[in-house]
Structure 1
Amino acid sequence: MADFTRRQFAALAIGGIGASFFLTGCGPQAASSQTSSADDAYKEATLVLGWWGNAVRNENTANLIDLYQKQHDSITIKPRPGEWSTYWTKLSTQVAGGTMPDIVQMDQKYIAEYGGRGALLDLTKHKALDLSDFPKSALESGTYDGKVYGINAGQNAYSVFANADVFAELGIETPDDETWTWDDFFEIAQSVTDASGGDVIGTSLVAQDADLMVWARQKGEELYSEDGKIGVSKESITSWFEYLLKLSSSGSGPNPDAFTQDVSAAVEQSLFATKKAAMGWSWTNQLLAYSDATGSDVRLLKLPSFDGNAGAAGMFFKPSMFWSASSKTKNPAQTAAFIDFLVNDIDAAKIGLAERGMPVNPTVLDAIREDLSDADKAGLEFLESIEDDVKSTPPIPPTGTSTVQATIQRYAGIVLFEEQSPADAAQALHDEMTGLIS
């Protein structure tokens, strides 16, 4: 088998989260149930803010901090920016050592991991944070075991990205995403590879947990069940692996080596961004980044389905990220007030716009709608266009599954390198995912 990619290795290192928690005896803590009133929201305090991001997000966040401190000179915010590849390992170490930032940027994969082990604050117990304008589904997405551990910082959806300029140059029509099937997707991808003489392949393959999740939803299953178990069957995983292998071996998708390199590549260096693939798979909040990287007309397409019905494609809205708080914070009221600023303040929204995903508070979204870039407006239009096609929200990933994406990608690589059959790899993946939860 090929060596692990850098991203896979970094993700697997996150497995230390559980060990760190258990070694330090970090279980449910009384601190996580603390409450606070709005009266203390602006009493003098120093708060630490941690997040992962890039240069653009770091600048936006610095501007947010400056604005808040100008509005409330009694509050000092200490920034702790980081990068995705090391963020989670560092955070687990901070939690174990009792130095977790007061406010942290959180991903849905880790809500149960941290919230279920008592490291996060139940944000519904703090009056300085107003959640009255948040849709119920947005609050549920950050809820675990009846407690809201994360406030949706922005919303996005998984979609197919299509480079309309590449399609036009090859004389191929951009797909009809209202009716296309998985067979159509394969044929279109193959036509791109054939028309370009192999210089451009039809589609990239990233094999994220979102890909398997959508495939499972179209089979009437979920990646995880409501009671915190594996919801996808071995049969569905097998059929998904078979489809990935078909795309790769036909040349309509990347060969195994190209796949391995692509899943670890930065956005700007990916197959789709470098126009070596006419279609790619990503989240809607990445549209601006891919548009800038390609310099092309990049369009968002609804996902293919088995029967050509977009309403049966298993699409869903996902929090791009959350704002969460440490259960050990010494300043819960001030922490809640700062999160309220991040998600409800219109001036704050005009700084961040859609960089962390499309705002969920409808009042805030309406206030910045006209300030969005053309790419972000297209992303918002796509999100609004799929509202009728989104039938349900997937269950939150249970405790123990923070490394599942890297695990899925590893087995996808094994299948593409033909080191295991799709059926054998599906059995092994299913067993490993079950073991992670156990």
Structure 2
Amino acid sequence: MSSGKKMWSAALLATAVLAVTAACGSGSGGESADGKVKLRFSYWGSDARQKMTEEVIKKFEAKNPTIDVEGEFSDFASYYETLSTKVAGSDAPDVITLEIRGLREYADRGTLADLASKVNTADIDGKVLSTGAIDGKQFAIPTGVNAFSLVVNPALVESNGQKLPDDTKWTWEEYVDLASKISAKSGGKVTGTQLSWNPAYLQIYAAQKGEPFYQGNKLGLTPATIKEWWAVMQNLVKTKGSPDAAKSSEIGASAIDQSLLATNAGAMGMWWSNQLGAVVKASGQNMDLLRMPKTAGATSGGMFLQPAMFYTASSKSEHAAEAAKFIDYLINDPEAGGIILSDRGLPASSKVLAAVKDKLPDADKKTLDFLDEVKSELSDPPAAPPKGASAMEDILKRYTEEVLFARMTPDDAAQKFITEANASIAG
């Protein structure tokens, strides 16, 4: 979910999912030595996520003594490559965690089971739930929701002689100006912000210009919008509101707890709202969420709700009913929700969210308040993007760096980015 993470190769994934559709049977499921049904559950994340997930699994097993759940955990960087290898070898886990960027890749190849009527979704907002549906089939159940936002350290802004913006009306020019002033006032001790090339950032910027990121199996972006978006980054580097190109590339490839904001070396940064807690924990500082700046004359802020991730089930699972039961527990049981809290986004189930609201850490309560505040301004959650979108962040990052390092002109880079991106999602 976070910018700078290496996504899986579209070619590798295509090969994997093609292979599984041709294969017979599945290596998933089976029975434990004591005769219990064995489910395999794949997911990625931090050590903290692994610990809480193992706790949830134990609670589920206690309620369902005939089922054993085996967690298959990895870091994000290696998750999809490992998963695609398993799928290609007819060894798909029974329950699979996916991002929206990879959902269509797996669904269109017959890898996923239709979970309609198998998991209780009555308490999930219909628009959010629809993001997990493709061609009328509910292949994925959203774990929780978040929004790509600006995270700010108010103390660092104010201690460097600046004021927090009125985020209901601030512009990208004001964002660059604020960042550069913070950097200048601190004498190099604090940088105003750090760059981001997360596609969600460009998607928001494009929406402010009235352009969709995807239009069918093509990009809906114009070269002019992409160049304007790059100009914001170029101006940040030029005014020293952000680190230079080399340092920005280095920071962008690191984990969130190594970001400028999390290490108290930066005052602002862009992340998904459910990552606020990680920044607060790493920095030990109070943080706020702000609306993204706007282009001049924008009628929409461009921000949108998006599922943090999805739970899906393998269509080849030998234990489809038990897989659906486990997903239902993860989504709908307040006991599970009380352990997971907002780690996978604020709970998608309204009943679970109400049950765990008072247990949320202060940072997550702040996230909930922020999303409630901006709810009426948010666009509907986008549908799953085209096949090949899983490679978009890598492609975008590569051409963004070509521009920032001045190895390509924005004109040339924009045309080549569009050509390569369209080839990736052509289907």
Give the TM-score, by structure 2 length: 0.93
CA contact (8 A) 1:51 1:105 kept: yes
C-alpha displacement of 1:210: 0.8
Q: State the one-letter code of the partner of 2:102.
A: Y
Matched residues in 2 for 1:368 and 1:300: separation?
A: 21
Matched residues in 1 for 2:261 and 2:109: separation?
A: 39
The reply on whether 1:231 has 2:226 as its aligned counterpart is: no
2:93 maps to which of 90, 98, 101 = 101
Residues 12, 254 of structure 1: alpha-carbon distance in 2 compared, 3 angstrom cutoff: farther
The more displaced of 405-414 and 194-203 is 194-203
1:149 maps to which of 130, 134, 139 = 139
Matched residues in 2 for 1:78 and 1:407: separation?
A: 35
Q: How many residues align?
A: 416
The reply on whether 1:20 has 2:8 as its aligned counterpart is: no
Tell me which residue corresponds to 1:39.
none
Matched residues in 2 for 1:215 and 1:396: separation?
A: 19
CA contact (8 A) 2:98 2:312 kept: yes
The reply on whether 1:69 has 2:75 as its aligned counterpart is: no
Residues 288, 427 of structure 1: alpha-carbon distance in 2 compared, 3 angstrom cutoff: same
Residues 287, 114 of structure 1: alpha-carbon distance in 2 compared, 3 angstrom cutoff: same
Runs of 5+ unmatched residues, structure 2: 27-34
C-alpha displacement of 1:426: 0.7
C-alpha displacement of 1:239: 1.4
1:57 maps to which of 49, 56, 64 = 49
1:279 maps to which of 268, 274, 278 = 268
1:164 maps to which of 154, 161, 165 = 154
C-alpha displacement of 1:252: 1.1
The Cα offsets for residues 307-336 of structure 1, whole Å up to 9 and x where unpaired, read as 477x72101001111101111011111111
Superposition CA RMSD, Å = 2.0
Tell me which residue corresponds to 1:196.
186
1:140 maps to which of 123, 130, 140 = 130
C-alpha displacement of 1:125: 4.7
How many percent of aligned residue pairs carry the same amino acid?
A: 33
Structural mapping, 1:312-323, within 5 Å: 312-323=300-311
Matched residues in 1 for 2:382 and 2:23: separation?
A: 25
Matched residues in 2 for 1:165 and 1:308: separation?
A: 31
Residues 134, 29 of structure 1: alpha-carbon distance in 2 compared, 3 angstrom cutoff: farther
Matched residues in 2 for 1:256 and 1:388: separation?
A: 36
C-alpha displacement of 1:91: 0.6
Runs of 5+ unmatched residues, structure 1: 1-5, 32-42
Tell me which residue corresponds to 1:11.
7
1:304 maps to which of 293, 300, 303 = 293
The Cα offsets for residues 29-51 of structure 1, whole Å up to 9 and x where unpaired, read as 999xxxxxxxxxxx952111111
The reply on whether 1:342 has 2:330 as its aligned counterpart is: yes
The Cα offsets for residues 160-200 of structure 1, whole Å up to 9 and x where unpaired, read as 01111111211211111111111111111111112112332
Match of 1:403, SS state, is helix
Tell me which residue corresponds to 1:218.
208
Match of 2:161, SS state, is coil
Q: State the one-letter code of the partner of 1:233.
A: T
Tell me which residue corresponds to 1:351.
339
Match of 1:280, SS state, is strand
1:119 maps to which of 101, 111, 129 = 111
CA contact (8 A) 1:7 1:85 kept: no
Matched residues in 2 for 1:73 and 1:149: separation?
A: 27
Tell me which residue corresponds to 2:102.
110
Matched residues in 2 for 1:107 and 1:63: separation?
A: 23
CA contact (8 A) 2:23 2:90 kept: no
The reply on whether 1:183 has 2:173 as its aligned counterpart is: yes
C-alpha displacement of 1:400: 1.2
CA contact (8 A) 1:316 1:392 kept: yes
The reply on whether 1:243 has 2:229 as its aligned counterpart is: no
Residues 216, 412 of structure 1: alpha-carbon distance in 2 compared, 3 angstrom cutoff: same
Matched residues in 1 for 2:391 and 2:156: separation?
A: 35
Tell me which residue corresponds to 2:164.
174
C-alpha displacement of 1:53: 1.1
Q: State the one-letter code of the partner of 1:313.
A: G
CA contact (8 A) 2:148 2:273 kept: yes
CA contact (8 A) 2:181 2:192 kept: yes
